[in-house]
Structure 1
């Protein structure tokens, strides 16, 4: 089981102090968070991709390449790579390069994005969102696996005998997650390719996401990649921790109430009841996170959102200490202990490479 944090990179005013970080401050803090995540024993750091204020992570591979040079173990991922508005050729090249720089500690999560204006900014039409996601990934999948690609599609110019460079590290493309909060077509796409499916269920009730995950698992088995419970599933989550729940609620409430993404709507209590958000003690976070397995089955990756809504960096680093010292060791032991032997662990380059080599030997022997 892999545990990590993801950031959306928002620049938000701290409602308790009135301080608004500069873009430079926010970018630097994201790097600090990634390094701290590795220090406290987390497995994954992931960043979103946004091209509009108040967000700063417009170039995830640039940030992750910088972080790669300052870390040694942690997996570096995106929590969204916009497969709809990025050129698949550039994605193929950028992430293969990042693979080499990070020694294989790289994967990525494909997403359509939830900001309508981003499509025309990159010459696309939001009404083509699903067709773009399907066609662009079909090309990307081939670019990483074929030395010479001929391609004709609807949304880009043709390719003739094109070779994407550099080639994936060890001939093994980065692991791909397909992220969705509402689209069954994306769950189907993930299942078709045997990739991972990530349900970032941080805003909506679990029942909606249970249906998406169940669809993905059933179709994963249908396409012959393994049994339904062997499909690779990731989940999002949000936490705010203090030693006792009263302090956590009191401290986090002004951030929740004023946050652009969910403030001025349901109360903090309503939101924590209906979504994965946990505001409380380490034990409360452990207890609630363990219920995710009851709802979704055994899964491979859990990412938490910590650095949002204007929370100062010092507070986020304190959250990481509590998460790494008191929460993750318990969750890891419990989750791994309950997972049947036939259900795979979270994907890593090393493990996937060993599997690929074993299969090659088996095929040669056959």
Structure 2
């Protein structure tokens, strides 16, 4: 299994202690955690996008550009790019810029978005988000794969022979599809032969397994190679301690206050309620990673029994001091990741994955580019200017 640190950049006050930090400090923490994740050997880092509620991730491409510029190995992704409300031409331009900055390390997750308050802000009527997502993704695919694109649709003005710039670093980046409550996104992923990312954030395990099973069936029915039906899974709140009882005692009051806040009218999308209201039930059967390293490893493998997933995402508990969050990352890297990697191997991002060697599959490898530069230097050495010329 591969592992990703995901931050949707919530800007929350701890409901128990009242602790809060400034926006600039919160954004700095996001970038620090991304660099730290790379140093600790995580495979990917991702940032979410929200335009309503207590989040600082509306300018996610700006943040991803900073991550790209300050890391060198880790894959860079989104969780999620709310394509249903965005202009696909701007998405093509902005994310290709991040792809260039990262030299081909970008993969994005697209979705309709579960925050209904975002829709009217961008002129999308409730109920249209699924159609908007499908249409805009079809256009995004063309913009990243073709030049001089001529197009007409419902959700943006027509295009006439448009080539988006910059071009992606080495062919179109891989696109995952976020799935939380309906089969629609799972079907769209299967149609295009793309991987699926299950939210796995607040509902029981079986609710997400139904969507994943639907995706795999449709993926095969569409004629795609089932070896590449990759699945990612998110998680609810993370809190790691020496023992599970210690973790529940330390984080339980905060968790239960967060659930109470989420369940208030207007704070959640109908049909997407949190069903595990106390910390004991959440640890036993919910989508949280709260407990000892052994408990967390066992929980991930319990999900893997149902999901067969290839990528596991973690989100840090941003309401607690950042030093404590980073210490949890350290312990995850040292005590959890090796156990799960051994028990649940995957071909994702390996030589068997069509995107595993990106950019090699879509263009020159980094080594090829370096060799060409070196060859050019050898053939045309730089000469000092002639002072008498």
Structure of higher RCO (CA pairs closer than 8 Å, 6+ residues apart):
1
Alpha-carbon shift at residue 349 of structure 1 (Å): 5.2
1:223-302 equivalences under 5 Å are 223-227=222-226, 230-238=228-236, 239-259=238-258, 260-261=261-262, 266-297=277-308, 299-302=309-312
1:1-366 equivalences under 5 Å are 1-170=1-170, 172-227=171-226, 230-238=228-236, 239-259=238-258, 260-261=261-262, 266-297=277-308, 299-308=309-318, 310-336=319-345, 339=346, 344-345=348-349, 351-355=357-361
The range that moved more, 263-272 or 86-95, is 263-272
Distance in 1 of aligned mates of 2:275 and 2:2: 33
Q: Note if contact 1:80-1:111 (Cα within 8 Å) is conserved in structure 2.
A: yes
Give structure 2 stretches of 5+ with no counterpart: 264-273, 365-389
Give structure 1 stretches of 5+ with no counterpart: 359-366
Going from structure 1 to structure 2, the CA distance change for 1:253 and 1:182 (only over 3 Å counts) comes to: same
Alpha-carbon shift at residue 53 of structure 1 (Å): 3.5
Deviations 1:304-328 (A, max 9, x none): 12234x2221221111011111111
Distance in 1 of aligned mates of 2:164 and 2:105: 20
Distance in 1 of aligned mates of 2:189 and 2:363: 23
Alpha-carbon shift at residue 173 of structure 1 (Å): 1.0
Distance in 2 of aligned mates of 1:53 and 1:203: 17
Q: Note if contact 2:104-2:358 (Cα within 8 Å) is conserved in structure 1.
A: no
Alpha-carbon shift at residue 17 of structure 1 (Å): 3.4
**SS state at 2:127 partner:** helix
Max radius of gyration: which structure? 2
User: What CA RMSD, in Å, does the superposition of the two structures yield over aligned residues?
Assistant: 2.0
Alpha-carbon shift at residue 194 of structure 1 (Å): 0.9
**SS state at 1:84 partner:** helix
Q: Note if contact 1:105-1:349 (Cα within 8 Å) is conserved in structure 2.
A: no
Q: Note if contact 2:16-2:257 (Cα within 8 Å) is conserved in structure 1.
A: no
Distance in 2 of aligned mates of 1:357 and 1:123: 38
Distance in 2 of aligned mates of 1:151 and 1:300: 36
Distance in 2 of aligned mates of 1:268 and 1:23: 29
Alpha-carbon shift at residue 344 of structure 1 (Å): 4.7
- Find the counterpart in structure 1 of residue 372 from structure 2: none
Q: Note if contact 2:256-2:277 (Cα within 8 Å) is conserved in structure 1.
A: no
**SS state at 2:255 partner:** helix
Q: Note if contact 2:195-2:228 (Cα within 8 Å) is conserved in structure 1.
A: no
Report the number of matched residues.
349
Using the size of structure 2 for normalisation, the TM-score is: 0.85
Q: Note if contact 1:255-1:311 (Cα within 8 Å) is conserved in structure 2.
A: no
Q: Note if contact 1:82-1:113 (Cα within 8 Å) is conserved in structure 2.
A: yes
Going from structure 1 to structure 2, the CA distance change for 1:15 and 1:185 (only over 3 Å counts) comes to: closer
Deviations 1:54-87 (A, max 9, x none): 1101111100111111111111111010111110
Alpha-carbon shift at residue 352 of structure 1 (Å): 4.2
Q: Note if contact 2:239-2:291 (Cα within 8 Å) is conserved in structure 1.
A: yes
Distance in 1 of aligned mates of 2:41 and 2:180: 28
Alpha-carbon shift at residue 177 of structure 1 (Å): 0.7
**SS state at 1:76 partner:** strand
Q: Note if contact 2:77-2:106 (Cα within 8 Å) is conserved in structure 1.
A: yes
Give the ranges of 4+ consecutive aligned residues of structure 1 lying more than 6 Å apart after TM superposition. Answer: 262-265
The range that moved more, 103-112 or 299-308, is 299-308
The range that moved more, 179-188 or 6-15, is 6-15
